[in-house]
Amino acid sequence: QSVLTQPPSVSAAPGQKVTISCSGSASNIGSNYVSWYQQLPGTAPKLLIYDNNKRPSGIPDRFSGSKSGTSATLGITGLQTGDEADYYCGTWDTSLNTGGVFGTGTRVTVL
């Protein structure tokens, strides 16, 4: 059960930019770091962004993250066909039972 809301899909032409929003609440995004994951078809998720805006080694700077209040955003610039995938935001909810929470997922399509 996803408690973070993302748009179901976004699309753009090669070379363009897309942004994906992730909306939560004070007990999750508002209180904790946000991470972002890319899931290519038929594969496991892959960490793209951690601690709101940091990129692990090997992730190109075309991917960026930001957070403001109870929302976060993933940006992808210079869109490539290889970026077609599902993207998920994730964080932790520290309301009662601390647990991980994920977004509903966004399918990125390169036109």
Partner 1 sequence: EVRLVESGGGLVQSGGSLRLSCEASGFTFSSYPMTWVRQTPGKGLEWVSGISGSGDTTYYADSVKGRFTISRDNSKNTVFLQLNSLRVEDTAIYYCAKLYYGDYAVLNAFEIWGQGTLVAASS
CB of 7 or CB of 45, closer to partner 1: 45
* The only residue of 16, 51, 60, 95 in contact with partner 1, by rule CB under 8 A: 51
Q: Which residues contact 73 (CB under 8 A, 6 or more apart)?
A: 19, 20, 21, 22, 65, 66, 67
User: How crowded is residue 8: how many other Cβ atoms within 10 Å of its Cβ?
Assistant: 8
Binding status of residue 58 toward partner 1 by CB under 8 A: no
CB-based burial, 98-107: b 16+ in 10 Å, e otherwise: eeebbbbbbb
* Nearest distance, CB of residue 8 and partner 1, angstroms: 11
Cα first-last separation, the chain: 30
Residue among 83, 85, 90, 110 that touches partner 1 (CB under 8 A): 90
Stretch that binds partner 1, among 12-20, 22-30, 67-75, 85-93 (CB under 8 A): 85-93
Among 30, 46, 59, 66, binds partner 1 (CB under 8 A): 46
